[in-house]
C-alpha cells in the first residue's frame, strides 16, 4: 500500500555530498519509495552560489533562500549538508519548529551543540539523525544507538579521519616527512587547501565527542575531548615505531573509566602494534573498534569520507526518518541518562614511548630510571644505544656522527607500563630538566595492546 | 518520563544464549529501562528441562509450557532462542496472534519460512527482529535493513560460520588434515558433537539466504542457496592455496547479477588472496564485506557466535522492539518488492583453481588447453611440474616417488579467468574424461580479487 501524498524533502547544501544526495534521490526514486512506503520527493535545494549547481541536480528546485525553504510548512524532512555551526544550527532549529525531521552530516555542530538540537527535536516530536556525521558510510551511529542498545560499551577506538590516515600511511610507506606527505595528500585531493580541521585533529575530535556521547549514554562535547593533531609527528617517530613493531595512527579513543564512574574522549597520534587490525587500515580508509561487555570486540571498516559514501549514510537516515514520519513515530532520541562526567586527559591511563637524547656516560640510565620511579611510572622496556649505531635507521631528526666516547650522545628509548597520563607528562617534564638529558626526541602514546 | 506499566517479556529457550539474555535483563534492568523508556520485565521463561536452569536465571519464572506462556495475553515481546523449525515456528506465530512482537535468533527458521513469519507479523501489527540470527553480535541485519536502505547493495561476501573458520584456520596454520582439525575444534568446544550443520554449510547457507533477501529486497530461502561444506577440503588444497598466495575460507556470497535482473546466493570453500582482509580473519571470528553502489566496500568484523555476543544482539533488538511498542509503531518489515529471481549456481560467474594429475608426456598441456577452449573458459595461469619437484609441498594427498620420465606423472595447476560456473563444471568433467588426465586432485573456486 503506497501512500499517495509524497514526503517532501528540502536539501540544504549542494556540494560534493549534497549533489550526490540529489542525484541518487532522482535516479533511485522508485527504490526509495518502495523502501519508505511512500514517494520521497525533492522539494527544494538551498545553495549559496546557484551558478555552481552540478549536473544531474534539478535546477528548477534551486534557491538561495534556505530559511524560506525550511519555513515552507510542507517539508517533511530537511537534509542539512552545509556543515559548520551557522547558519546550519538556525536552519535545523527552524526546521523542527516547522514540523520537519532532520538528517544532518554536520559533525562540528553536533559535537558542539548536540544536546540543544536533540532537545529541540524532542520538543517538536521530530527526528534528528546523523549517521553521516561520523565516518561516512560506515554504520556507527546506528549500531551504537540501536544494535548495542542492550549492551554496555566500554571502549571505542578508531581511525575516523581519512586525511590524516592517508598522510601517516604515506609517511610509513615511503619514509617521507610530514610536510612532504601533506603535499602529496593535497595534490591527490585527500587534504583540503586549509587542512587545519583534519591535521590538527578537530574533525576527529568532533567525531570522538559524538561517539562517546552515544556509546556511554552521556553528554560529551568537542570541548571535552583532548586533542593532539599529527603536525608534530616526524619521520623519526615513524621509524621509532617501526623498530618497536608498530605503526603510527591518529586515534580517537573513548573509554569508560575502570571504576565506571567517568568517561574520557581523546584524539592523538599513537603507536599501535602491526598485529592490531587498525594497523592495516591504509590510505584514507576509516575503521572503528567497539568493545562491549557482551558483544566483545566488533570492528567496522570502510570509506570514511567522500561524496557517495556520505550520501549513502544520509539516504539511509532519510529512509528511516521518512518511515517514522509515516508511522507518526520518532526513532531513538538523545540518551544521556547516565550523566557520567568526562575526565581530563591527565586521568587517562595510557602508555608512553619516550625517546631521549642523553649524555653517553655511566649513571645516566640510573638517573633517568629514578625520575620514572619518583613519578610512580613503571618502565616496561629500555633500549640504550650510542648514536652511531642506529643513526641511519632513526633518520633525519637524529644528528649523525660521534663515536661512543665520554661526552658523546646516546639515545635512550623507554616504553612505560600503563600509568595516568598526568604522571607520564610530569615524568617527561622532569626528564627535560635533567642535565644529562640533552633533549626529548619523541614522545608518543602506545595503544592497542 | 518513565511509563509505569513495565513491558513484559517471555523468553523461549534458556540454553547458552537464553540464560545470558536472562542474566543481562536482570543485572542491567535499570539501563534497559532507561534506554527503552519503560521497565522491561522478564515475565516467563519456557524451557524443556527445568532441572537444567542455570545460575542467575530466576527459577520462579520457569515453565515447561511455552504455548501457555505466549498465549498469556499480557506479553509484549517474545524472545525465541530455541532454534530449529518446530515448535519455534508455531510459538512465534501464536505470539503474533496474541499481540506480541518477536525477537528471534533462529536462522534456520527464518531462512526456511521468513516470508510467512514476516506476513504474520505484519498482519498483527507486530515486529519481527532477528539480528542475532546472522553472525552473533556483529550488526549486519540492521545495517542492511536500515543504514543501507538508501543505497543499492551489489554484493555480500563473508565468513559467517565460526566453526568452519576455526577448522580451516587450523588446517592452514598447522598443516593438519580436515579430521584432525575437526577433532581439535570439537575438543575446544568450537564444534558440536554432531558438526553437520556447520561443516556441511547448512548454517552458513541459512545466513546467506537471510542476508541475500535483505540486501537485494527479494525473497531468498535456504533452498535457493548453493551449498558446499568443508568436509572435502584437504591439506593439499590448503597447500595449493598457499603456493598461490591464498588461503582457503568457507565463504557465503550473495551477488546481484551484472545485468541486475537476478541474484545468487552460495556457500562454498574458496581460495582468497592473503592480501584480502577476510584472509586475516582467524579462529572462530566472523567478518562480512558489503559492497554497495554509493557506500563502497564496508566490512563488519566480530565474534560470530557464543552466548554473550548473541545475547547482545538479542537485547539490542529487544530495546528496539520495546521502543516501537511504546510508540505504537513497528520497525521495517519484510522488503521484497524487487522480486528478483535467484539464479542457479551454474549461472554464477566465478574462477576455478584446478589441480590435475596428468601423464608426464608432450602434448598433454595442449590437450588440456583445448578442453578449456572448447568450453569458452579462458585460462589465466598454468603451472606444470613433474611430481618429485614439489611432493613435499603438496603434502599427503600426492603420492611421492617417480622421477620425470616418459609414463610418469606430472601435475598441472590451472587457474581460470571468470566464467559461468556451469562452463567450469563442464570443463572439469571433460578433463576427467581425458586419457592423459589421471585424476583431478583439487578443484576450488577463487574469490576476493
Judge: A300–B303 Cβ closer than 8 Å, yes or no.
no
pLDDT at position A3: 54
Judge: B318–A131 Cβ closer than 8 Å, yes or no.
no
Residue scoring higher pLDDT (A387 or B198): B198
Chain B residues lying within 8 Å of A297, measured CB to CB? 302-303
* Interface test with chain B among A30, A81, A146, A274, by most B beta carbons within 10 Å: A146
Q: How far is CA A59 from CA A13, A50, A155, A436, B218, in A?
A: 13, 9, 46, 70, 35
Residue A326 distance to chain B (closest CA, Å): 10
| Mean residue pLDDT across chain B | 92
Judge: B297–A302 Cβ closer than 8 Å, yes or no.
yes
pLDDT at position B403: 41
Over 60: is that where the pLDDT of A405 sits? no
Over 90: is that where the pLDDT of B102 sits? yes
Q: Region B55-64: what's the mean pLDDT? A: 88
Residue B295 distance to chain A (closest CA, Å): 4
Residue A40 distance to chain B (closest CA, Å): 11
| Mean residue pLDDT across chain A | 92
pLDDT at position A132: 97
Q: What is the pLDDT of residues A4-38, one digit of tens each?
A: 689 999 999 999 999 999 999 999 999 999 999 99
Alpha helices per DSSP H over A162-256: 162-174, 178-187, 196-199, 202-216, 235-243
Judge: A35–B308 Cβ closer than 8 Å, yes or no.
no
Residue scoring higher pLDDT (B113 or A396): B113
pLDDT at position B351: 96
Over 50: is that where the pLDDT of B72 sits? yes
- Cα(A105)–Cα(A318) distance, integer angstroms: 12
pLDDT band at B121 (very low <50, low <70, confident <90, very high): very high
| Tally of CB atoms within 10 A around A167 | 31
Judge: A150–B32 Cβ closer than 8 Å, yes or no.
yes
pLDDT band at A407 (very low <50, low <70, confident <90, very high): low
**Hey, which residues of A are catalytic here?**
207
Q: Region A360-380: what's the mean pLDDT? A: 94
User: Cell 549514510 appears where?
Assistant: A313
Please name the helix (run of DSSP H) or strand (run of DSSP E) that holds residue A157, with its range, or none.
strand A153-159
Residue B384 distance to chain A (closest CA, Å): 35
Residue of A nearest to B302 (CA): A298
| Tally of CB atoms within 10 A around B285 | 23
Judge: B147–A302 Cβ closer than 8 Å, yes or no.
no
pLDDT at position A235: 94
pLDDT band at A51 (very low <50, low <70, confident <90, very high): confident
Q: Which residues have a Cβ under 8 Å from the Cβ of A30 and sit 6 or more positions away?
A: none
Residue scoring higher pLDDT (A407 or B58): B58
Chain B residues lying within 8 Å of A302, measured CB to CB? 295-299
pLDDT at position A58: 85
Q: What is the pLDDT of residues A207-242, one digit of tens each?
A: 999 999 999 999 999 999 999 999 999 999 999 999
**Hey, which residues of B are catalytic here?**
207
Which one-letter DSSP state was computed for residue B194? S
Judge: B35–A217 Cβ closer than 8 Å, yes or no.
yes
For residue A87, whether the previous peptide bond is cis, meaning omega lies within 30 degrees of 0, is yes
Q: What is the pLDDT of residues B223-272, one digit of tens each?
A: 999 999 999 999 999 999 999 899 999 999 999 999 999 999 999 999 99
- Cα(A274)–Cα(A226) distance, integer angstroms: 25
pLDDT at position B396: 32
Percentage of the residues of chain B whose pLDDT score is greater than 70: 94
**In degrees, to the nearest 5, what angle opens at C-alpha B300 toward C-alphas A26 and B196?**
120
Over 80: is that where the pLDDT of B44 sits? yes
User: Cell 610512580 appears where?
Assistant: A376
pLDDT at position B4: 63
pLDDT at position B53: 66
Nearest to B292 among A32, A149, A312 (CB): A312
- Cα(A118)–Cα(A335) distance, integer angstroms: 10
CB–CB of B277/B449 below 8 Å? no
Judge: A20–B294 Cβ closer than 8 Å, yes or no.
yes
pLDDT at position A362: 86
- Cα(A189)–Cα(A272) distance, integer angstroms: 27
The domains found in chain A, sorted by start residue, are 7-136+308-326 (3.40.50.720), 141-304 (3.30.360.10), 347-446 (3.30.70.260)
Judge: B137–A20 Cβ closer than 8 Å, yes or no.
no
Alpha helices per DSSP H over B217-273: 235-243
Q: Region A152-180: what's the mean pLDDT? A: 96
Nearest to A298 among B302, B320, B328 (CB): B302
Q: How far is CA A139 from CA A27, A118, B437, in A?
A: 23, 20, 51
A3-12, B15-24, B290-299, B323-332 — which is least confidently predicted?
A3-12
pLDDT band at B407 (very low <50, low <70, confident <90, very high): low
Nearest to B316 among A149, A293, A315 (CB): A149
pLDDT at position A392: 39
Residue scoring higher pLDDT (A97 or B442): A97
Residue of B nearest to A327 (CA): B329
Residue of A nearest to B328 (CA): A329
Residue A188 distance to chain B (closest CA, Å): 19
Chain B residues lying within 8 Å of A337, measured CB to CB? 34-35
Q: Region B167-185: what's the mean pLDDT? A: 96
- Cα(B412)–Cα(B407) distance, integer angstroms: 15
Tell me the count of A-B CB pairs closer than 8 A.
190
Judge: B149–A320 Cβ closer than 8 Å, yes or no.
yes
Please name the helix (run of DSSP H) or strand (run of DSSP E) that holds residue B446, with its range, or none.
strand B437-446
Over 80: is that where the pLDDT of B406 sits? no
A194-198, A229-233, A336-340, A381-385 — which is least confidently predicted?
A381-385
pLDDT band at B51 (very low <50, low <70, confident <90, very high): confident
Nearest to A298 among B146, B301, B329 (CB): B301
- Cα(B428)–Cα(B407) distance, integer angstroms: 23
Strand order in the sheet with B128-129: B62-63, B40-46, B7-12, B77-80, B101-104, B128-129
> Cα-Cα-Cα-Cα dihedral of B185, B187, B192, B198, to 10°?
10
Residue of A nearest to B23 (CA): A294
Q: Which of B309, B335, B340, B315 is nearest to B146 (CA)?
A: B335
Nearest to B320 among A138, A149, A280 (CB): A149
Percentage of the residues of chain A whose pLDDT score is greater than 90: 85
Burial of B34 (0-12, 13-18, 19+ CB in 10 A): middle
Residue B23 distance to chain A (closest CA, Å): 11
* Interface test with chain B among A289, A295, A315, by most B beta carbons within 10 Å: A295
* Interface test with chain B among A152, A155, A294, A296, by most B beta carbons within 10 Å: A294
pLDDT at position A342: 97
- Cα(A145)–Cα(B323) distance, integer angstroms: 12
Burial of B426 (0-12, 13-18, 19+ CB in 10 A): middle
Chain A residues lying within 8 Å of B149, measured CB to CB? 35, 315-316, 319-320
Amino acid at each position: 500500500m503506497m501512500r499517495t501524498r509524497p514526503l517532501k524533502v528540502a536539501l540544504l547544501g549542494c556540494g560534493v555530498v549534497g549533489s550526490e544526495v540529489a542525484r541518487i534521490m532522482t535516479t533511485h526514486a522508485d527504490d526509495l519509495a518502495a523502501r519508505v512506503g511512500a514517494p520521497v520527493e525533492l522539494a527544494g535545494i538551498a545553495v549559496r552560489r546557484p551558478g555552481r549547481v552540478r549536473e544531474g541536480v534539478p535546477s528548477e528546485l534551486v534557491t538561495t533562500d534556505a530559511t524560506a525553504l525550511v519555513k515552507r510548512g510542507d517539508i517533511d524532512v530537511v537534509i542539512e549538508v552545509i556543515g559548520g555551526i551557522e547558519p546550519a544550527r538556525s536552519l535545523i532549529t527552524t526546521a523542527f519548529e516547522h514540523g520537519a525531521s532532520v538528517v544532518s552530516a554536520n559533525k562540528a555542530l553536533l559535537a558542539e551543540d548536540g544536546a540543544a538540537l536533540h532537545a529541540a527535536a524532542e520538543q517538536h516530536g521530530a527526528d534528528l539523525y546523523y549517521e553521516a556525521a561520523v565516518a561516512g558510510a560506515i554504520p556507527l551511529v546506528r549500531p551504537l544507538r540501536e544494535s548495542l542498545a542492550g549492551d554496555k560499551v566500554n571502549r571505542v577506538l578508531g581511525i575516523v579521519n581519512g586525511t590524516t590516515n592517508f598522510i601517516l600511511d604515506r609517511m610509513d610507506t615511503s619514509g617521507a616527512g610530514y610536510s612532504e606527505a601533506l603535499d602529496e595528500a593535497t595534490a591527490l585531493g585527500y587534504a583540503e587547501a586549509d587542512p587545519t580541521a583534519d591535521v590538527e585533529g578537530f574533525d576527529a575530535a568532533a567525531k570522538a565527542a559524538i561517539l562517546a556521547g552515544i556509546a556511554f549514554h552521556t553528554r560529551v562535547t568537542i570541548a571535552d575531548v583532548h586533542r593532539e593533531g599529527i603536525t608534530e609527528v616526524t619521520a623519526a617517530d615513524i621509524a621509532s615505531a617501526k623498530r618497536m613493531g608498530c605503526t603510527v595512527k591518529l586515534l580517537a579513543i573513548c573509554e569508560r573509566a575502570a571504576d565506571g564512574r567517568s568517561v574520557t574522549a581523546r584524539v592523538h597520534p599513537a603507536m599501535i602494534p602491526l598485529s592490531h587490525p587498525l594497523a592495516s587500515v591504509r590510505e584514507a580508509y576509516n575503521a572503528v573498534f567497539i568493545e562491549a561487555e557482551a558483544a566483545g570486540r566488533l570492528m567496522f571498516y570502510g570509506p570514511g569520507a567522500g561524496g557517495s559514501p556520505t550520501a549513502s549514510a544520509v539516504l539511509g537516515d532519510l529512509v528511516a526518518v521518512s518511515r517514522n514520519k509515516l508511522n507518526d513515530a520518532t526513532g531513538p532520541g538523545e540518551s544521556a541518562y547516565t550523566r557520567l562526567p568526562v575526565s581530563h586527559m591527565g586521568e587517562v591511563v595510557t602508555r608512553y614511548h619516550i625517546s631521549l637524547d642523553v649524555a653517553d656516560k655511566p649513571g645516566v640510565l640510573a638517573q633517568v630510571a629514578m625520575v620514572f620511579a619518583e613519578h610512580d611510572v613503571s618502565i616496561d622496556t629500555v633500549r640504550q644505544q650510542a648514536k652511531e649505531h642506529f643513526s641511519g635507521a632513526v633518520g633525519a631528526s637524529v644528528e649523525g656522527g660521534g663515536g661512543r666516547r665520554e661526552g658523546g650522545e646516546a639515545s635512550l628509548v623507554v616504553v612505560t607500563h600503563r600509568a595516568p597520563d598526568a604522571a607520564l607528562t610530569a615524568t617527561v617534564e622532569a626528564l627535560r630538566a635533567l642535565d644529562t638529558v640533552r633533549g626529548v626526541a619523541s614522545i608518543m602514546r602506545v595503544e592497542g595492546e
